[in-house]
Amino acid sequence: MARKSFALQTEPHVAEIGDDIELEFLPEVMGDDYLDALGRLQDRYKNLGIDLSGDIDEAPPEALREVNAALREFIGSLMLPESAERFSTMRLPDRVVVALLEWSKEIYGGGRPPTSSNGSAAASPPRGTRSTGSSRSKGSTPTRGR
């Protein structure tokens, strides 16, 4: 009989921001709970008419403020209560907030794409298209002194 042990994360994940800010995230989030919360975030984006794969500079400032609020709400929902309260009043650059989102996908999404339909790999180039890269496996490498 085969046997496999699985460890559960019992200590909070900690995001260090700057020299003196630590935000504690829930040790474990059930996969469906995380994906449901991420789906709600994406639905809010769609309801605002924001296409995150497009040029968001075209969106009205009020819609972008709502996107930022939705994103911060989502990230805060993954934190321990004290950190979530601190985060809700914290002013951070957008790049840090987006990095926290990406990190949450890494630690809670388990490396899975956020949705099955849009998370697939990019399509291969059409047949017959030459690549611009070179391959070390095609031929020998130059030898010094010859």
Say which residue, 145 or 6, is predicted with more confidence: 6
Asked whether residue 8 is assigned to any structural domain, the reply reads no
Domain limits for position 101: 13-108
Q: Which residue has the tokens 């909070």?
A: 12
Asked whether residue 7 is assigned to any structural domain, the reply reads no
pLDDT band at residue 116, thresholds of 50, 70 and 90?
very low
Residue 69 confidence (pLDDT) above 60 = yes
How many CA atoms lie less than 13 Å away from 79 in the CB half-sphere? Answer: 21
Asked whether residue 132 is assigned to any structural domain, the reply reads no
pLDDT digits (tens, 9 = 90+) for 1-59: 899 999 888 999 999 999 999 999 999 988 788 888 888 988 988 888 777 666 666 77
| Other beta carbons less than 10 A from residue 56's beta carbon | 13
Asked whether residue 128 is assigned to any structural domain, the reply reads no
Asked whether residue 18 is assigned to any structural domain, the reply reads yes
**Residue 108, pLDDT score:** 87
Beta strands in the chain (DSSP E): 13-17, 21-25
Smallest CA-to-CA distance from 78 within 11, 24, 8 is with 24
Q: 5 vs 2, 8, 96, 106, 111, CA distance in Å?
A: 10, 10, 35, 22, 20
pLDDT band at residue 133, thresholds of 50, 70 and 90?
very low
Residue 134 confidence (pLDDT) above 60 = no
d(CA 80, CA 25): 5
Asked whether residue 58 is assigned to any structural domain, the reply reads yes
**Residue 63, pLDDT score:** 81
Asked whether residue 77 is assigned to any structural domain, the reply reads yes
Count of domains for the chain: 1
Asked whether residue 6 is assigned to any structural domain, the reply reads no
